[in-house]
């Protein structure tokens, strides 16, 4: 029969193991290139802003060459910086709330959110409607 101390220690180790499974290294998307040539920085900006809107991210600031955005789901929030040029863009971790960020690791949901955003930006950059006059 296990002593009370051993049960508590085992439970603590089990909980620690479960928590560790949800943390993954933060994946920054660096210098991602569009699948087809982009006519200019304005088209890149438009594609990023459209993808952010479709994924229900909030644009906090949109300067020339850089966008600050965040997404909130329930009590969780992630903030990213998206620097861009006419030929590439990056999605970089800027901050978070309730995603257990520590020492370069974060809840795996963060990486899912940014990978989905990256995929949506790529889709927008492939869209013929991107090049239609606004």
**pLDDT higher than threshold 80 for residue 28:** yes
Structure tokens at 27: 């994946």
> For residue 37, what is the enclosing H or E element?
none
Domain extent listing, the chain: 25-131
- DSSP-derived letter for residue 56 is T
Q: Residue 57: what are its φ and ψ, rounded to 5°?
A: -90, 155
The predicted structure's pLDDT at residue 112: 97
Q: Which fold has domain 25-131?
A: Alpha-D-Glucose-1,6-Bisphosphate; Chain A, domain 4 (3.30.530)
Note the pLDDT of residue 130: 62
Q: What is the pLDDT of residues 42-100, one digit of tens each?
A: 999 999 999 999 999 999 999 999 999 999 999 999 999 999 999 999 999 999 999 99
The per-residue pLDDT for range 10-27, each reduced to its tens digit, is: 666 655 555 555 799 999
Q: What is the DSSP string of 69-103?
A: EEEEETTEEEEEEEEB-SS-EEEEEEEEESS--BT
Confidence at residue 63, expressed as pLDDT on a 0 to 100 scale: 97
Q: pLDDT by residue (tens digit) across 89-107? A: 999 999 999 999 999 999 9
**Rounded CA gap, 131 and 134, in Å?**
9
Percent of the chain scored above 90 by pLDDT? 72
């Amino acid at each position: 029969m296990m002593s009370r101390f051993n049960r508590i220690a085992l439970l603590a180790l089990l909980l620690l193991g479960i928590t560790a499974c949800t943390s993954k290294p933060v994946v920054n998307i660096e210098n991602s290139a569009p699948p087809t040539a982009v006519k200019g920085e304005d088209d890149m900006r438009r594609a990023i802003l459209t993808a952010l809107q479709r994924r229900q991210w909030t644009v906090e600031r949109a300067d020339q060459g850089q966008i600050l955005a965040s997404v909130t789901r329930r009590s969780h929030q992630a903030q990213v910086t998206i620097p861009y040029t006419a030929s590439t863009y990056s999605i970089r971790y800027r901050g978070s709330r309730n995603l257990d960020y520590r020492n370069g690791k974060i809840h795996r949901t963060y990486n899912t959110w940014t990978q989905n955003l990256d995929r949506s930006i790529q889709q927008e950059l492939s869209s013929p409607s991107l090049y239609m006059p606004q």
